[in-house]
Amino acid sequence: MLVVRPAGSADFDALMELAVLSGRGFTSLPEDEATLRARLALSEASFQAGVAPPEAWYTLMLEETDTGSVEGVAGVKAGVGLKRPFFSFRVVTLAQSSPTLEMRFDHKALVLVNECAGWSEVGSLFLRPEKRKGGAGRLLAQSRYMLIGIEPQRFAEMVLAELRGWFDQDGRCPFWEHVSHKFFRLDFDQADLMSASTDGQFILDLAPRHPIYTELLPEEARDVIGRVHRDGEAARAMLEREGFRYQGLVDLFDAGPTVACPRDDIRTVRDAKRLRVKLGEDAFGEEALISTGEVSRFRAIRAPVLIDGDAAILGREAMDALGVCEGEVVRVKA
């Protein structure tokens, strides 16, 4: 059975392997030992309420219980832009007109903004390629919203997700080459690692302060503004089913889109029910998303469940995977 559980320090090797597999542009999974070890330590402290709620970063691992193999990772940051700016480009329309010539023009432009400070972020969603079918990705993605729904007050009223921008088949990032590189003068991989592993001061120092008119950019750079990486289309579709929508914001480095949704309007957060566990002799009922009712003991699975009033009747395998006993609270999203 697949189960989503909190990450711990023992997951370092698996997390590094996933980071290597994720490839270029996956900023939240850098191939950097110090960064990944610090992230695992922060995650452990976050689940045990060892850090202030806005500073928490919860990392989740998707594990195959039969083998102990880690198949994927996801995360939830309780607050972004608190200790370092959370910069994006906003795609704006600038209108210019000349009454003398009786002419009016609209120009698209990119403007540096820091609009999302204090929002929560769901991200870092990555699965091994062979696990991207059969519902594993959906389980991992929705587990983040089940976590948020246990104690919504730990998270901001708005939740965002950044999607990886477009890279060519040969690994080139057109937006980086034609736009961002002109300001940062670094290799993409170097800038990406610095973004993930430093306080981001270099972005504050070097990012453009004035609007960038998109009409002045090469066509291949214009065409990828707000475009999702080929491997991110499924993730975008899952986010949109939960209620996330494009916000007119794109990433500084690869121009990938930012989507967002009010926390309490996220479908899984809104619709999951708190129920008491009751043991059934056999697994039966419709398959549903089920999580524990406590952040510190968080686990999530998909399994058959029969809802009877305020009771969730589960099979023994499901109860063991969740680590719950009869009478305990679980959250169920049919």
Active site residues: 229
Residue 298: closest CA among 47, 44, 128, 113: 47
3 state SS for the chain? CEEEEECCHHHHHHHHHHHHHHCCCCCCCCCCHHHHHHHHHHHHHHHCCCCCHHHCEEEEEEEECCCCEEEEEEEEECCCCCCCCCCEEEEEEEEEEECCCCEEEEEEEEEEECCCCCCEEEEEEEECHHHCCCCHHHHHHHHHHHHHHHCHHHCCCEEEEECCCCCCCCCCCHHHHHHHHHHHCCCHHHHHHHHHHCCCHHHHHHCCCCCEEHHHCCHHHHCCCCCCCHHHHHHHHHHHHHCCEEEEEECCCCCCEEEEEEHHHCHHHHHCEEEEEEECCCCCCEEEEEEECCCCCCCEEEEEEEEECCEEEECHHHHHHHCCCCCCEEEEEC
In the chain, the amino acid numbered 252 is L
As a whole number of angstroms, the distance between CA 267 and CA 279 comes to 27
**Euclidean distance between the first and the last CA atom of the chain, given in angstroms as a whole number:** 18
Could you tell me the two tokens for 172? 């080139």
